[in-house]
Amino acid sequence: MIRPMKLTPAEELPAGPGWLYEIKYDGFRCLLDWRADGIRLISRNGHDLAHAFPEIIQACESAKADIAGHLPLLLDGELVFLLNGVRSDFSTVSRRSRMRAAATITDQSDRFPCRLAAFDLLEINGQDLRGEPLEQRKKRLAELIKTAGFPEDVSVADPSPVQGIAAETDAGRIRARLLSGNGEGIVAKRTGTRWTDGIRTTDWLKVKNWRRVPVIITAYEQENGHFTGCVFDDGRLLSVVTFTHGMTDEETRTLALLFKTNGEQETAGIWTLGPAVCAELLTIGSAGGKLREPRFSRFLHGEDPAAVTLRRLHRALEPIPPGVTVTNPDKPLFPGAGVDKDGFLLYLQAAAPHLLPWLRNRPLTVIRWPHGTEDERFYQKHAPDPLPPFVKTSPDEEGPRILCNNLETLLWLGNQAALEFHVPFSRLDSPHPDEIIFDLDPPDATRFDLAVDAALRLKAVFDGFGLRSFVKTSGGKGLQLYIPLPEGRFTYADTRRFTGLIARFLCEQAPDRFTTERLIKNRYGRLYVDYVQHAEGKTIICPYSTRGTAHAPVATPLEWHELDSALRPEHFTVPALFDRLRTTGDPFRHMEAAKSDQPFGDVLAKLKEMGLG
């Protein structure tokens, strides 16, 4: 069995010529062993994980015609669940690796698709490349990846389950990328090196992106020398770590003596101490509520234990990217939900993998509440002067428009209390709409059932036409339905013919429940089917944007099966979305793929034949 070449930990990246640098992703080290008779994903412990990651196997099978002449193959890489271009979520990969039930694996591979990010080629067409120089192996890997139709470098925007990891020669540039995306670390590889089976070598160095987190040390276990670290959560101590590494022998003896002298002995060999001793730990992140790879850094003398909170821990694990300034982080923005500015920024960071694709290259309109939702608001379309260097703009007759194309811009806007993000239906490079959207607006939140009823009726119509549709809450009192469109093929005139017809059809089916009447006084308690808003120059609330209401609602994508009589828009708020994103994934995850398969042209032609188009 081939064992992966091991990396040596280092504190600093080596400088100067003779080194290549790669992003280190927080996933599972894995060898892709591809033979004519099958494909295996071999973990560092020798286990075959192919059954748990069928999306990767299927991607390889689909590329078999292009790759057949290069088999057998052996690639070294990392199993990852990408959050951005430099960051993988270890918890998701770990959870998926343990799954055994076929139905669960199928569901999770759809909700949380993983990728194999390959960084080395060890064998091709049966030829052993391990003795060749690193640069030659990287070159041949890039050629192979390109031949298979996979991306040559990691891209979160590309859904391909197999991707390459390109090397960088500029240490400063790759470090900036790492810190911007809060990735796990960087690997430095000496040029000219050969691949050595199972050997830990100083030719491959790993430098971790350590996060510095505060904890309260509350327990000592004599048998293994472990200390327990806690934080306050709603006034209660919550255990987040056990650690021993990083302390000197003298520090360990002194702290152990403190527990034995001033603490209480709970059981044989275990002492506890009330909140008093605070310390800073180094960690690469958390999984299952516990810090990963914890290492003692220093004692925090004079630290108030009451200030060591779960919120502070979360902020330490999710630092603000360099270059983004945060002012007044404690300012209440959503008082009804207890969400201050820092909590809002944490939400934006969590939602960014799903929110940013909807904002990218769409001229943005934001609504700002500088003093929170209980105070005045104003709209902002144009960029102020001066702008941070990371903010991109597009020209406009009245001044440059803001483009939110990266996390830094999203957080910069969040710091300005931009609580709503409204986007047009087209992107900069096209006058054609990317999607059709129906806005279902009931008279008030108590009649959300009308929105559910209308959405399900419309879905039945769309299904009948063979059109795939998606649904989200508006973040207010209604729902919004999306029909993705093939790129660059249809005009707003085309979509208006369809939306007008469908809206009128719905209202004719239940005129006592639905209306297209724009004047509120003439709706008489009926749900307003707004199709007029879908037009060039108009905007709509972006998926995963918050709304400027005190209880911190979010315009939340839903699964169709979630629409029932028990559903309420107030279920989807900033506090609720943190957990939902981890457990449900993104219901709009197939939106982009659905575009190419939509038979919208056939639908228009059919309506025209019927004299309706």
- pLDDT attached to residue 346: 98
Can you list the positions of beta strands (E) in 222-269?
226-233, 236-243, 264-267
Half-sphere CA count of 2, side-chain side, radius 13 A: 21
- pLDDT attached to residue 613: 63
User: Which residues are within 8 A (CB) of 512 and not within 5 positions of it... i.e. 6 or more apart?
Assistant: 526
* Global model pTM greater than 0.85: yes
What three-state secondary structure class fits 427?
coil
Percent helix / strand / coil, the chain, rounded to 5: 30, 30, 40
**Beta strand 435-441 with 527-530: parallel, antiparallel or unpaired?**
antiparallel
- pLDDT attached to residue 434: 95
Q: Is 203 left (phi over 0), alpha (psi -120 to 50) or beta?
A: alpha
- pLDDT attached to residue 608: 85
- pLDDT attached to residue 146: 97
- pLDDT attached to residue 611: 76
Q: Identity (one letter) of the amino acid at 360?
A: R
Q: Is 121 left (phi over 0), alpha (psi -120 to 50) or beta?
A: beta
Digit-coded pLDDT (tens) for 307-330: 999 999 999 999 999 999 999 999
Distance CA 45, CA 29 (A): 10
Q: Which sign, positive or negative, has the C-alpha torsion 498, 504, 508, 510?
A: positive
Looking at the annotation, which residues are catalytic?
24
Share of residues in the chain with pLDDT > 70 (%): 100
Rounded to 5 degrees, φ, ψ at 67 are -105, -15
Q: Identity (one letter) of the amino acid at 413?
A: L
Low-confidence ranges of the chain (pLDDT < 50): none
- List the Cα angle 380/553/314 in 5-degree steps: 95
Distance CA 379, CA 369 (A): 9
